[in-house]
Amino acid sequence: MKKALVAVLVLAVLAAAGVGGWYFQQSRHLSEFAATPTALPAPVTVDIPPGTGPRALARLLADRGVVTDAELFYRYLRREDLGPRLKAGEYEFEGPLTPAQAAEKVASGQVKLHRFTVPEGLRAEEILPLLGASGLGLDLRKLEAFTTDAAFLREAGVPAKSIEGFLFPDTYTFAKGVREEAVLGKMVARALEEYRKADAARKPGVKLGLLQTFTLASIVEKETGAPEERPRIACVFHNRLRKGMRLETDPTVLYAMRLLRGVFTKNLTREDLRTLHPYNTYKVAGLPPGPIASPGAAALQAALAPQDCEDLFFVSRNDGTHVFCPTYDCHQALVKQWQVEYFQKQQATPRKP
């Protein structure tokens, strides 16, 4: 009886050892699989829908060549108990990549990020297509609707009936699936953040409010491409406002014509300058009703902390910079030099073949 019992125990031990050995071999095989990189010849983008479980994920990544064996990858996910941690989203996989690294990428939510850059001085109608082409899947019609949506603008902190001027020029990064209002809201938040920084350095005596600051800053932004000139350009406009002079700045007339005609043009006519419109600063005193483009941080700073100067005029040197004048006679002389005579010389100079 004792011999039979011993035999049974021995068989049980051997069976357990066999099973344990089998499980050990399987576990080692699974670990080797998880640590073996897959050579991806090019980045692979995979959309993982909400509710995707371990088996569905394993099939999806195997079908896209991210992992070499769907069944082994599924078993690895189960062994590591990663099912509850899997997160939906758009993922980009680059090789060499191990199955363990692929699994961790999805479990930790390392989704693909899309980046777009908005240059300084663009109008909203120029900025929205950049967002639409960002790869985020944003709906251009929804973006356009939010630019004049009163409830959205109020919640975002825009003190106007349009978002014009408050889409801050910067580089932005978002994951696919972000909503249109979230992107626009982030851009407005950046604009207000930079305003607060500029406001902290506001020069004594500058009494512009939030909307006025963005309006003047947008004009400064459009008037010069030379960063060092912005504070002096702002000084000219502050001086003209203080004296009750019209600003007489061409970019505002161009914007007025855009609103009237529905199409933007870079050329102005004498008739345009004579056309009465709230944005035509040749006809209307003071600042226009709102911004004409999105100013950057330097233009906002210049609007609230202009350079000290006596200038009332500036004339283009035709190279992106300007010469400044405190009197009308000086201004007329510079117009003759840099506009009349300059272009006469350009026309008289023979062109090289």
User: What is each CA distance from 134 to 147, 167, 176, in whole angstroms?
Assistant: 18, 15, 10
pTM of the entire predicted model: 0.85
- Per-residue confidence (pLDDT) for residue 339, from 0 to 100: 84
Distances (CA, A) of 249 to 36, 47, 192, 219: 66, 50, 25, 8
State how far the Cα of 34 lies from the Cα of 39, in Å rounded to an integer: 14
Positions of the chain with pLDDT under 70: 1-24, 349-353
Angle between helices 210-223 and 250-261 (to 10 degrees): 100
Residue with tokens 């400064």: 220
For the stretch 262-268, contacts whose Cβ atoms lie closer than 8 Å and that sit 24 or more positions apart, written own/partner, are 264/123, 264/125
**Any alpha helices (H) in 275-341, and if so which ranges?**
297-304, 328-335
Neighbours of 188 (CB within 10 A): 20
Tens-place pLDDT, residues 204-214: 999 999 999 99
Quote the CA–CA distance of 274 and 245 in Å, as a whole number.
17
